[in-house]
Amino acid sequence: MLNYLVRRLLIAFVTLLLVTFVIFGLVRNMPGTPLTTDPAMMDPSKQISPEDLRRLEKLYGLDKPWYESYFIWIGNLARFDLGRSIAQNNRPVIGLIGERVGATLTLSATSLVLTYLLSIPLGLWTTVHSGSVRERTLSTVLYMLYSLPSFVAALFLQILLAVKLGWLPLLGMVSDDYASLSGLGKAWDIFCHALMPVACFTYGSLAYYTRFIHSNMQEVIRQDYIRTARAKGVPPRRVIAHHAFRNALIPLVTLIGLTLPALLSGAVILERIFTWPGMGSLFFESISQRDYPVIMGLTLVFSILTLLGQLLADLLYAVVDPRVSYS
Amino acid sequence: MDTDRTTIKDSPSRGFWAEAWLRFRQRKMAMMALYYIGFLCLIALLSPAIAGTKPIVCRYKGTLYFPAMGYFNRRWEKPVFQRDRFYRIYPTNLQKNDPNSWAVWPLVYQDPYRRVRDGEWDDRPGNPTGTDGQPSRRNLLGTNQQGFDVFAQMVHGTRIALTVGFVSMGIAATIGVFVGSLAGYLGGWTDVLLSRLIELVMCIPALVLILALIAIIDEVTTWHLMAIIGCTSWTGIARLTRAEFMKLKQLEFVAAAQAMGASHWRIMFRHILRNALAPILVPISFGIAAAILIESGLSFLGFGAPPPNPSWGTLLSSGRATIEQTWWLIVFPGAAIFLTVLAYNLIGEGLQEATDPRLRQAGQ
């Protein structure tokens, strides 16, 4: 087991180095630098002289070739220094990311909890009522939701709930008068703003998980031990919850590991549509500003989470299913 | 039916694909999705004849021309109209330059690339601009802020949506099948290296990869987008192909082919690939849906081909700017994207259930 873990971690480490190397090369070779894409520079009166530009490039280390900069970046990383943002007033990258984590987690963690809370009962319900008209309707609706692109859903919801009915605020995370609200008012304000984004984050995975549980349960309830349990007189409810669902859990657990990166990466399009100040928005901004340190910091976080998620999925698999072992 | 049972059938047994098609046809939703995609193909092919401002056929100064073909490729519109200073406005100029000319016009006189102005067609007023372009008799689905007709854009956007799906998945499938079959068939170090490569591409955040590649191109066109989407979404297909090849290469028919002296190349792509094709088709079908999603998402974020390109995603993004007034810029293209993605997903699922032998036995 330990052997396996060490080998996996080593492979993950190498993959991480390669991923950051490729991304570093790609972003550094995108046309434009953080110094030339700054909107203030477009104004001819504020344009800096070539000497100043060269001085700034030297200051930020942009005068070196990218592979050299990469090794400097790795060196700093080894000392847990992600560098400072170029486009956003020299602020440390860790601080910038830390500011945005809360907003993204508000959406993704809520949506993850909601997904599990709703999809498990729905999945079990569709299994029990399999073939009935109600189940077919629900499954069809879920299938359609699964195919509905989240940005289309977000725009439709905005038109319906914010523009036509005026029930919910259209954009943002807080209202303009947020600072003057009381503690409870603040919470309510964020709640109202978060409703639509959370719904858009949730419905797709809800549909996917429900279908996933349903199809796994369909496979499990055909097993012999379920027939045995029924035959010996176990109540139907207990057969489903205790005998069948516990075995359908195995693939579900591996899914948890794979959702780990989604927890922090947010969704760029959704956060853009709702102008939600999360990680996805930061990512989008940093790419359009060519803010290399921020792009690299975010890429690092996302890649680590992806690799950890895959590892976690495999490990959890061995934990839930005693037949699987890695020794 | 009863007579069938008593007589002995001597019809040859159906092949794998005929069997799969028979099963696929039994699924009503999948068939409906297939019809819908066929319908979209028809719209895409006939788009210049459905909505456009260029005549489908016209006789001008004694020669027959097909100016509407210019919507497919600008070079197919004969230069004679440019020389005679038509400025893309055909109805009045045809009459003015050659009174004996005649023309067959598209069903709807609207253009996806420009605004129809006052008096272009029988003293009809020009398209409304800004946020006034509500759906009306003249502009069936409204107009955007620049006065371009939404119906014409949607019809011509069908062409983009369909080609994006097919071309980018074609590229992805080629790369994926090639890498996957090499890794699966050859095994050993090739497999280790290629598997690492697949893992690497999977770990790179897709958006960074796509945006970085787009940024490198000077003038982004839809073709560039297709190539980029294709080059970034082959990993799933490669992994599946690898698994299938690893399974199939153990079978007797491969050993037989080897014994007969067939080359590796021939065994991989003539013998094994044919048998692995069915499971590979399923992720390809889902991949087409994903490619359409990515293209419209990128166009929505403003990274697509610059306007005026009539992509559904571009329409959505122009609608988002004035979301409080222009609902028609969002509802129609949004519904089109949704239905197309749904259709490909349904086809993918239908294929899966029609070709998967395990599910087939369960059904009987």
Q: With CB atoms and an 8 Å threshold, state whether B208 touches A284.
A: no
Q: Which residue has the higher pLDDT, A327 or B299?
A: B299
Global pTM?
0.85
Percentage of chain B with pLDDT > 90?
16
Does residue B275 have a pLDDT over 70? yes
Please write the tens of the pLDDT for every residue from A259-311: 777 777 667 888 888 888 888 888 888 888 888 888 888 888 888 888 888 88
Question: Residue A214: which pLDDT band, with cuts at 50, 70 and 90?
Answer: confident
Backbone angles phi, psi at B190, to 5 degrees: -55, -45
Decide if A292 contacts A86 (C-beta within 8 A): yes
Percentage of chain A with pLDDT > 90?
3
Q: Name B132's Cβ contacts closer than 8 Å, sequence gap at least 6.
A: none
Q: With CB atoms and an 8 Å threshold, state whether B297 touches A147.
A: no
Residues of chain A in contact with residue B209, where contact means CB-CB under 8 angstroms, are 23, 26
Decide if B334 contacts B297 (C-beta within 8 A): no
Tell me which chain A residue has its CA closest to the CA of residue B300.
A269
Q: Does A146 touch chain B (CB under 8 A)?
A: yes
Question: Residue B364: which pLDDT band, with cuts at 50, 70 and 90?
Answer: very low
Residues of chain A in contact with residue B331, where contact means CB-CB under 8 angstroms, are 156, 159
Does residue B347 have a pLDDT over 60? yes
Q: Name A115's Cβ contacts closer than 8 Å, sequence gap at least 6.
A: A202, A205, A206, A209
Question: Residue B336: which pLDDT band, with cuts at 50, 70 and 90?
Answer: very high
Question: Residue B158: which pLDDT band, with cuts at 50, 70 and 90?
Answer: very high
Question: Residue B84: which pLDDT band, with cuts at 50, 70 and 90?
Answer: confident
Q: With CB atoms and an 8 Å threshold, state whether B204 touches A19.
A: yes
Q: Which amino acid is at A132?
A: S
- Alpha carbon of B100: minimum distance to chain A alpha carbons (Å): 49
**Chain B residues whose C-beta sits inside 8 Å of any chain A C-beta:** 196, 199-200, 202-205, 207-209, 211-213, 215-216, 289, 293, 296-297, 300-301, 316, 319-320, 323-324, 327, 330-331, 334, 337-338, 341-342, 345-346
The residue of B29, B199, B208 whose CB has the most chain A CBs within 10 angstroms, and thus the best one to mutate to test that interface, is B208
Q: Looking at residue B283, what is its pLDDT?
A: 87
Residues of chain B in contact with residue A204, where contact means CB-CB under 8 angstroms, are none
Q: Looking at residue B37, what is its pLDDT?
A: 93
Does residue B205 have a pLDDT over 70? yes
Length of chain B, in residues: 364
Q: Per-residue pLDDT averaged across B231-243, rounded? A: 89
Measured distance CA(A152)–CA(A288) in Å, rounded: 23
Decide if A125 contacts B289 (C-beta within 8 A): no
Does residue B97 have a pLDDT over 70? yes
Does residue A6 have a pLDDT over 60? yes
Three-class secondary structure of residue B298 per DSSP: helix
Size of interface A-B (CB pairs under 8 A): 98
Question: Residue B167: which pLDDT band, with cuts at 50, 70 and 90?
Answer: very high
Return the domain boundaries, chain A. 103-288
- Alpha carbon of B281: minimum distance to chain A alpha carbons (Å): 19
Q: Looking at residue B6, what is its pLDDT?
A: 58
Please write the tens of the pLDDT for every residue from B208-231: 788 878 877 777 888 888 898 898
Q: Looking at residue B3, what is its pLDDT?
A: 52
Q: Looking at residue B172, what is its pLDDT?
A: 94
Contacts 24+ apart (CB under 8 A), A25-29: A25/A66, A25/A67, A25/A70, A26/B208, A26/B209, A26/B212, A26/B213, A27/A287, A27/A290, A27/A292, A27/A295, A27/A296, A27/B208, A27/B212, A28/A66, A28/A69, A28/A292, A29/A66, A29/B212, A29/B216
Structure token pair of residue A271: 């956060």
Q: Per-residue pLDDT averaged across A251-261, rounded? A: 77
Does residue B92 have a pLDDT over 90? no
Q: Looking at residue B363, what is its pLDDT?
A: 42
Q: With CB atoms and an 8 Å threshold, state whether A155 touches B334.
A: yes
Comparing A115-124, B5-14, B32-41, which segment has the lowest mean pLDDT?
Answer: B5-14
Q: What is the mean pLDDT of chain B?
A: 84
Does residue B170 have a pLDDT over 90? yes
Q: Looking at residue A45, what is its pLDDT?
A: 60
Three-class secondary structure of residue B311 per DSSP: coil
Q: Looking at residue B1, what is its pLDDT?
A: 46
Pairing between β-strand B102-104 and β-strand B63-65 as defined by DSSP bridges: unpaired
Structure token pair of residue A94: 């860790």
CATH code that applies to domain A103-288: 1.10.3720.10
Question: Residue B171: which pLDDT band, with cuts at 50, 70 and 90?
Answer: very high
Q: Which residue has the higher pLDDT, A52 or A217?
A: A217
Nearest to B162 by CA among B51, B41, B295, B286: B41
- Pick A163's closest partner by Cβ from B196, B215, B324: B324
Q: Per-residue pLDDT averaged across B179-190, rounded? A: 89
Length of chain A, in residues: 327
Does residue A153 have a pLDDT over 80? yes
Question: Residue B9: which pLDDT band, with cuts at 50, 70 and 90?
Answer: low
Residues of chain A in contact with residue B216, where contact means CB-CB under 8 angstroms, are 29-31
Does residue B163 have a pLDDT over 80? yes
Please write the tens of the pLDDT for every residue from A88-128: 777 888 888 888 888 888 888 898 889 889 998 998 898 88
Please write the tens of the pLDDT for every residue from A186-199: 888 888 888 889 99
Q: Looking at residue A42, what is its pLDDT?
A: 58
Q: Looking at residue A290, what is its pLDDT?
A: 83
Decide if B133 contacts B127 (C-beta within 8 A): yes
Does residue A40 have a pLDDT over 60? no
- Alpha carbon of B147: minimum distance to chain A alpha carbons (Å): 21
